[in-house]
């Protein structure tokens, strides 16, 4: 099976309007920059996006929000995006806010083939409204369903043509979980090598989960907020 595609435009070409996407990364670290740009250029719309955050106004998923391509945002943290706030308050954007651990575990459950999980996060809050609660050993837990994503789009440091992936530093956040969870997983990498080059002991995502892979270009690697010590 040939998994290598030439670029981001080819990788996302068949993503239809109305699709549900998982997008890896945390803040602006480890996000699939090339695929997001390709989706903006293609104009795919009415998307449901599952991501830890919604980018910033002029980068990441924020670019898709600017073009009104996102119908629903399922996220944990969204505090750095003024356009997201505007669309939420105006009713233009449907939003589901999820505790970060629950978001990660629902991704994991989808990758493991589990239909649902029980978690104590959110019990007794607005998160619990309309959800089943069950008591285990005297403690209440919420039933949360695994995500059902059409595509998972992830960013890795290195990959081989078989789809094996290695993430670097903080980019090893939501990317490995989401790579397991999509019906179709698309990976963009900074370095693409032949099979056998990567050390098997360092591989984070086995190639069995990856359907398409390509070498990305022109990564900006922005810093979301820079804090330094006073001299």
The C-alpha atoms of residue 70 and residue 68 are separated, in whole angstroms, by 6
pLDDT at 123: 95
Closest CA to 117 of 130, 108, 126: 108
89-143 per-position pLDDT tens digit = 999 999 999 999 999 999 999 999 999 999 999 999 999 999 999 999 999 999 9
Q: Which residue has the tokens 């803040």?
A: 27
pLDDT value of position 222: 77
Confidence of residue 225 (pLDDT cuts 50, 70, 90): confident
Q: Which pLDDT value is given to residue 220?
A: 86
Q: Please state the three-class secondary structure of 61-116 as a single string.
A: HHHHHHCCCEEEEEECECCCCHHHHHHHHHCCCEEEECCHHHHHHHHHHHHHCCCE
Task: Please say if the pLDDT value at position 231 is more than 80.
Answer: no
Statement: residue 228 has pLDDT above 90: no
Provide the pLDDT confidence category of residue 30 given band limits of 50, 70 and 90. very high
- Domains, the chain, in order of start with CATH, read 8-114+146-215 (3.40.1080.10)
pLDDT of residue 57: 86
Residue (of 33, 8, 23, 7) closest to 221 by Cα position: 33
């Amino acid at each position: 099976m040939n998994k290598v595609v030439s670029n981001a435009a080819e990788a996302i070409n068949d993503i239809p309007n109305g699709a549900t996407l998982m997008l890896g990364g945390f803040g602006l670290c480890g996000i699939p920059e090339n695929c997001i740009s390709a989706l903006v250029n293609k104009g795919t719309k009415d998307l449901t996006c599952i991501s830890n955050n919604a980018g910033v106004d002029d980068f990441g998923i924020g670019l898709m929000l600017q073009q009104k391509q996102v119908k629903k945002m399922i996220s944990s943290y969204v505090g750095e995006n003024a356009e997201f706030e505007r669309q939420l308050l105006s009713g233009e954007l449907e939003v589901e806010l999820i505790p970060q651990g629950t978001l990660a575990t629902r991704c994991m459950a989808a990758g493991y083939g589990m239909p649902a999980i029980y978690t104590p996060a959110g019990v007794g809050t607005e998160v619990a409204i309309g959800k089943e609660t069950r008591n285990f050993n005297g403690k209440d837990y919420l039933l949360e369903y695994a995500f059902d994503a059409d595509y998972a789009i992830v960013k890795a440091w290195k990959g081989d043509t078989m789809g094996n992936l290695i993430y670097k530093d903080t980019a090893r956040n939501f990317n490995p979980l989401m790579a397991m969870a999509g019906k179709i997983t698309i990976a963009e990498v900074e370095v693409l090598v032949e099979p056998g080059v990567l050390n098997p002991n360092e591989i984070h995502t086995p190639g069995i989960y990856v359907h398409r892979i390509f070498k990305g270009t022109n990564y900006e690697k922005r810093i979301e907020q820079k804090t330094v010590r006073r001299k």
